[in-house]
A and B are shown apart, each in its own frame.
Chain A
Amino acid sequence: MSIISDLIYFENPAIWDNFGGTSSGIGGLTWQMFIWSVIVGLLVVSWLIYNLIFFRHKEGDPEPKDALKAGVFPHERGDVKIELAWTIAPLILVSWLTFISLAPLNYMWDIPDTEDADVTVDVTAGSWYWGFEYANGYEKPEEFTKCSGSINCIEVPANSVIRFNITSQDVLHAFYLPDMGIKQDAVPGLNTATWVDTSMVSARDEPYRIYCTEYCGNSHSQMLAEIYVTEVSSE
């Protein structure tokens, strides 16, 4: 049965568990998108089924008055009012969907400055590893014991704002935290940045996943890293 539940339940805390909406508002956006998708999908399918039930050709039906004839351009058929209606309705719907995307977008793009972030991490992507370094003279708290080195492993405090400065040494890579809904390309010769508020996920002993999502060669699917979110006692 688990395959069935897998098909119905989208397993991802970042976009699904916080269904009503998180601070980032993505949960709410996902929720609305899902509802509207179902409404539009059902509208199309039910209209289709309605047509198939009520307008099927039966033996002995008379031909419609404007039936098609080979070599004759058929009668123009249409209704300006109806056509305008289904031009304007989708326009309103997509405007609404764009509008509700703005709040989370504004939140995501409002990347805190290096000084404002609790922790700033310099991320360097290479084929095929992630290098992490705390920037800005951040001193590692005692609680951080889970990473043995600075390659493919990073530990960050819970309930704080983390800024990532990302760059690449060779080809394109992309820094992807599926559990936190964060993705940013690593571009050689360019410094990009993204950020995450770790209060959206729980502190735990198991790591969260970091993937590379921009195709970068043979070991693309092995370019994995771990991010630990650890509770730090505040003094």
Chain B
Amino acid sequence: MNRIKVLGIGILLSIIFAVTAVPTGETNPGGIDPGISTLVEANGCSCHNIGDGDMNNPNSAVVLNLTMPDNFTAGETYTLILNISGGPNDIAPMENGPNMGGFMLKVSTGTLMPIDDNVWKPEGSSYLTHTGGEEGQSGDGNNLREWSFNWTAPESDSVVAEFMVYGNSVNGNAYEDSGGAGNSGDYWNSGVFLLAGQNAQIADGSDYGELSGPKKIVYGFGIVFITLAVVVVGYRMVDQDESFEEVMKSYWKWIYPWLTTTDHKYIGTLYIVTGFAWFFIGGILGLLIRWQLFEPRVDGDFLTYQEYNSTFTMHGTTMIFMAAMPIIFGFANYLIPLQIGARDLAFPRLNSFGYWLLPTGGIVLYMGYFTGGAGDVGWTGYAPYSSGASATRPGTDFWVAGQLMLGASSTLTAVNFLVTMLRMRAPGVSLMKMPLFSWSILVTVFLLLLSIPVFTVALILLMADRTFGSLYFSGPDSDPILWQHLFWYFGHPEVYIVILPAFGVLSEIISTFSRRPIFGYTSMVYAMATIGVISFVVYGHHMFTTGADPLFRFIVMLTTMLVAVPTGIKIFNWLATMTGGSVVLNTPMMFSLGTIITFTIGGITGIILASIPLDIAFHDTYFVVAHFHYVLIGGTMFSFIAGVYYWYPKMTGKMMNEKLGIIHFATTFITFNAAFYPMHNVGISGMPRRYATYDASLTELNQFISVFAILFGLAQLIFVYNVFYSYRNGKEAGDNPWNGWSLEWATSSPPPENSFIEIPTLLDAEEEAEKSE
């Protein structure tokens, strides 16, 4: 036993040693810079990069100098002077003659213009270079080491212009005489020069720089949290006359079971609480986006464009992977063993491990904020932008690493549920007698297991591109579309992964509050399975404009349209369940019915987007943003909020406050529609998504959206208050407050430590009826 341990540690150590000792990262420490497509451009001069024998690396002997004013005024034109010294030309000086130097210069903003024929701006490009290389040019900028040109400042003086210069120092004689090799040859170097506008705030550059928007919030929350902790602990120390150790011990006693638990009910609760916590953090990021879009802002007015990009990236990633999925897993964790009559999941420790990967993965994702900018690649992380050097570093690396951890968490959880549901059902619970929520989770975990590994592979390839300089996505011979195939093969099933459990919740609630069995149980199960199967053959509809094979695009248009059929069956079955029932309108039911309306709208816009001619017009505009918010908030989040109202009595033994619930529903439903419906209009008018600023003619609609988005956010505080308020003051619930049928209502509220005192047997109404006859 001991030897195995030693052996294990040895192997682990040697792996760690191997990873650190092989400095693969050095081959391309900055990753591949996609802005520069060839080495010819990268070292500034194509004709004679010889001499020191290393055309890939800059030579520090070459000194670049750019003479420019202290700051600039918007729209003004300045004459700048670029000067090169050092290098081969200094070793063997030349007064004048062929090939003394060369340069290439790019600027991040404003326009560059030559003023004499020594400098040249190639047709169709924005950069400048020297003349002399091309035919038909009168000037010979190759014979100089100093060039002048004009730069027209941008319309805004609150930005910083970044000049990227590549310069060669050449000794022409050496080159000519030695037949190409050169004694002192041709070295190059590059440099970056910053020129700030008059009103530019140089964010984060110095220790005294003003804090950026998201950082302010992070620090703000930190300060509030620490203050609260001091007040609470201090209060207990002073008022209850306890020592610091005693206070800490009492907290530890309370927190210890949560840290070490393997009980599915505890882990389920942890998942749900963590999911909602991330949901609120993601919501705050969403409100930052809306505040940025309150009016057309210039760079840095509220958020800089880079911060804005990080914000929508983290918003999307947080909402999908750290809010929606954990909330689903939470409910599944809590309810699946109860619904199928098992004491716990098949692998409780695996379950705990899967949970703890979630908050840690989330923290890794958010680490980017403390390293100069979180990942800014969008939740889709499209290569070659994400594999290139222009994506934030190391923010995007943290994004990739965090995603890998979340993926591992989901895979483990999926295996666990699959085994549990196939092997541990109580007597009487055959597959076709499982509650529909269990069925939705069963289909979901199948989707997870088949799709997440593909995403994991894509992420590993991306990480290799970013850190080891491999060329899966951004080399000259690589396929930039490959990432999209890999991502959407996972990404589309992922959307069904988050919507199918919502269907399950709705089926449970609507049946219970109509007081009658669900209409068409069998067709509901088949509809969910069909959606699951189709979800793997529709992913191409995210790629209608990429220029993929027309036949491929045509086929996915057909299959995407087909998704509407099983989805339609589900909606009609819910409505038919109510018809002939005895509908009780409680908060969970209201949220469910609201979901039917908003989800129907989201489904209809989905069909509109499935039609290729219309998708070409609407793709990547706010119409798409409106569509997926209607599906994900109006579908998933609404039904899981309904789920909280519905199962809260089971989890805590207390009823939630009905009046607060109704107010919460009314405000949420109204503000949600007011905030997200106009996005359809904004999109049709042509506003692309992920824009940090926009056409001024859309200001009014965007302000309308922003105001209601903030109100929508505030309305959720009622929900938070209700959860805490009811925990203390709620009425006693009893075992079955809503008269549901599935097995979780047969145990006590909250369930006992082993979930069931005695493993129950699910009876069948038809058999019961026969028996009584």
- Interface residues, chain A, with chain B CB atoms under 8 Å away: 2-3, 6-7, 10-12, 14-16, 24-26, 29-30, 33, 37, 40-41, 44-45, 47-48, 50-52, 55-57, 61, 63-64, 66-79, 82-83, 86-87, 90-91, 93-95, 97-98, 101, 104-105, 108-109, 122, 124, 126-127, 129, 131-133, 150-151, 169-172, 174, 176, 178-179, 181-185, 187-190, 192, 209, 211-222
Q: Is B569's beta carbon under 8 Å from chain A?
A: yes
Per-residue contact bits, chain B 753-773, to A (CB 8 Å; 1 contact, 0 not): 000000011111110110000
Q: Which residues of A contact B547 (CB under 8 A)?
A: 184-185, 187, 190, 192
CA gap between A192 and B37 in the complex, in Å: 18
Question: Considering only CB atoms, which chain A residue lies closest to B768 in the complex?
Answer: A72
Cβ-defined contact, B611 with A183, below 8 A = no
Q: Contact partner of B741 among A37, A68, A169, A184, CB < 8 A?
A: A68
Cβ-defined contact, A68 with B516, below 8 A = yes
Q: Is B454's beta carbon under 8 Å from chain A?
A: no
Cβ-defined contact, B677 with A97, below 8 A = no
| Interfacial residues of chain B within 67-125, with CB under 8 A of chain A in the complex | 108-109, 111, 123-125
Q: Contact partner of A68 among B517, B521, B596, B688, CB < 8 A?
A: B517
Could you pull out 14 A-B pairs where Cβ atoms are within 8 angstroms?
A7-B677, A15-B614, A37-B604, A48-B593, A71-B743, A72-B741, A74-B517, A77-B519, A78-B520, A101-B557, A109-B550, A172-B382, A181-B616, A213-B688
Per-residue contact bits, chain B 522-558, to A (CB 8 Å; 1 contact, 0 not): 1100000000000000000000011100100010011
**CB contact under 8 A between A150 and B124, given known A33-B611, A218-B305, A221-B693:** yes
- Interface residues, chain B, with chain A CB atoms under 8 Å away: 34-35, 37, 108-109, 111, 123-126, 305-306, 309, 376-378, 382, 384-385, 388, 390-391, 428, 433, 476, 480-481, 511-512, 514-523, 545-547, 550, 554, 557-558, 561-562, 564-565, 568-569, 571-573, 575-585, 593, 596-597, 600-601, 604-605, 607-608, 611-614, 616-617, 619-621, 677-678, 681, 684-686, 688-695, 700-701, 704, 735-736, 739-743, 745-746, 760-766, 768-769
CA gap between A215 and B686 in the complex, in Å: 15
Cβ-defined contact, A182 with B616, below 8 A = yes
Question: Considering only CB atoms, which chain A residue lies closest to B518 in the complex?
Answer: A77
Q: Which residues of B contact A183 (CB under 8 A)?
A: 545, 616-617, 619-620
**CB contact under 8 A between A214 and B614, given known A11-B684, A71-B763, A219-B109:** no
Shortest CB-to-CB span from B39 to chain A, Å, is 15
Cβ-defined contact, A26 with B614, below 8 A = yes
Question: Considering only CB atoms, which chain A residue lies closest to B341 in the complex?
Answer: A71
Cβ-defined contact, B684 with A57, below 8 A = no
Q: Contact partner of A189 among B480, B515, B746, CB < 8 A?
A: B480
CA gap between A214 and B547 in the complex, in Å: 13
**CB contact under 8 A between A55 and B694, given known A44-B597, A74-B741, A209-B686:** no
CA gap between A170 and B125 in the complex, in Å: 13
Q: Contact partner of B681 among A7, A56, A97, A215, CB < 8 A?
A: A7
Q: Which 10 A-B pairs have the closest CB atoms?
A: A178-B686, A74-B517, A131-B124, A192-B547, A221-B691, A68-B741, A78-B520, A104-B613, A51-B578, A213-B620
The SS class assigned to the A binding surface is mixed
Q: How many interface contacts (CB-CB < 8 Å) are there between A and B?
A: 337
Cβ-defined contact, A74 with B765, below 8 A = yes
CA gap between A122 and B125 in the complex, in Å: 13
**CB contact under 8 A between A52 and B616, given known A131-B125, A216-B385:** no
**CB contact under 8 A between A73 and B124, given known A33-B614, A215-B382:** no
Q: Contact partner of A40 among B604, B621, B685, CB < 8 A?
A: B604
Cβ-defined contact, A26 with B765, below 8 A = no
Q: Contact partner of B580 among A24, A55, A190, CB < 8 A?
A: A55
Shortest CB-to-CB span from A162 to chain B, Å, is 16
Known: A44-B597, A104-B613, A171-B384. 4 other contacts (CB 8 A): A11-B684, A72-B763, A73-B763, A73-B765
Cβ-defined contact, A67 with B516, below 8 A = yes
Q: Which residues of B contact A77 (CB under 8 A)?
A: 516-521, 577
CA gap between A77 and B569 in the complex, in Å: 15
Q: Contact partner of B613 among A67, A93, A108, A131, CB < 8 A?
A: A108
Most buried by B among A44, A66, A150, A216: A44
Cβ-defined contact, A83 with B691, below 8 A = no
Question: Considering only CB atoms, which chain B residue lies closest to A74 in the complex?
Answer: B517
Shortest CB-to-CB span from A203 to chain B, Å, is 20
Cβ-defined contact, A172 with B765, below 8 A = no
Q: Contact partner of A57 among B584, B593, B693, B695, CB < 8 A?
A: B584
Q: Which residues of B contact A40 (CB under 8 A)?
A: 600, 604
Cβ-defined contact, A187 with B511, below 8 A = no
CA gap between A221 and B693 in the complex, in Å: 6
Cβ-defined contact, B565 with A101, below 8 A = no
**CB contact under 8 A between A171 and B385, given known A52-B585, A132-B124:** yes
Shortest CB-to-CB span from B598 to chain A, Å, is 11
CA gap between A98 and B600 in the complex, in Å: 19
Cβ-defined contact, A76 with B564, below 8 A = no
Q: Contact partner of A78 among B522, B593, B740, CB < 8 A?
A: B522
CA gap between A30 and B613 in the complex, in Å: 10
CA gap between A126 and B34 in the complex, in Å: 10
Q: Which residues of B contact A11 (CB under 8 A)?
A: 681, 684-685
Question: Considering only CB atoms, which chain B residue lies closest to A51 in the complex?
Answer: B578
CA gap between A170 and B704 in the complex, in Å: 37
Cβ-defined contact, B521 with A76, below 8 A = yes
Q: Which residues of B contact A7 (CB under 8 A)?
A: 677-678, 681, 701
CA gap between A68 and B619 in the complex, in Å: 46
Q: Which residues of B contact A44 (CB under 8 A)?
A: 571, 575, 596-597, 600
Most buried by B among A94, A174, A216: A94
Q: Which residues of B contact A30 (CB under 8 A)?
A: 614
Cβ-defined contact, A41 with B741, below 8 A = no
**CB contact under 8 A between A64 and B763, given known A57-B583, A174-B620:** no
